[in-house]
């Protein structure tokens, strides 16, 4: 006799921490300000005092507010709230989880009341919460 069964579970709106940065620079926001998002080293590594903004002719970048330190990076100056660093959102219902399992069992009756049984279980569990390795929190479907 051969038996097979499937067990599955799906969960949505799982509470997660640190998966949404309210003060993050998104690719769309940087493109709207005229920056090339492929050159991230330029945004992270150079300070605001010596950085040139894109556009017609060279022009110096300006600080977002009067007392903004010019030693900060350009990426920090382009944040929605440049006076703060990362602003994580706690208990955000943005996580998902999946569980799939295939359970098989084979039973063979042999002679003189002797039975042989073998079983195998294959399972897979996926999640998109803070313990998962997510490289782009703005596009969680992209795992690369």
Residue 75: the pLDDT is 79
Q: What is the average pLDDT across 128-143?
A: 64
Count of alpha carbons within 13 angstroms of residue 21, beta-carbon side: 14
Reported residue count of the chain is: 144
Same domain, 144 and 93: yes
Same domain, 94 and 104: yes
Q: Which of 87, 105, 135 is the last residue of a domain?
A: 87
Same domain, 37 and 80: yes
Residue 67: the pLDDT is 85
Domain that holds residue 73: 23-87
Number of structural domains (the chain) is: 2
How far apart, in whole angstroms, are the C-alpha atoms of residue 55 and residue 35?
9
Q: Which of 87, 104, 124 is the last residue of a domain?
A: 87
Q: Which of 46, 70, 87 is the last residue of a domain?
A: 87
Worst-scoring range by mean pLDDT, 7-21, 36-50, 79-93? 36-50
Give φ, ψ of 42 to 5 degrees: -65, -40
- Is 41 a residue whose pLDDT tops 70? no
Q: What is the average pLDDT across 57-73?
A: 71
């Amino acid at each position: 006799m051969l038996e097979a069964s499937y067990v599955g579970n799906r969960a949505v709106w799982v509470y997660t921490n640190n998966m949404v940065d309210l003060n993050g620079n998104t690719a769309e926001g940087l493109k709207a300000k005229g920056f090339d998002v492929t050159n991230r080293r330029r945004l992270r590594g150079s300070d605001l005092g010596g950085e040139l903004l894109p556009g017609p002719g060279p022009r110096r970048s300006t600080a977002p507010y009067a007392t903004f330190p010019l030693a900060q990076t350009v990426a920090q100056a382009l944040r929605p709230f440049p006076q703060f660093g990362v602003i994580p959102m706690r208990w955000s219902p943005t996580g998902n989880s999946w569980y799939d399992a295939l359970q098989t069992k084979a039973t063979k009756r042999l002679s003189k009341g002797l039975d042989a049984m073998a079983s195998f279980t294959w399972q897979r569990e996926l999640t998109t919460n803070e313990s998962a390795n997510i490289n782009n929190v703005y596009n969680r479907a992209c795992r690369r």
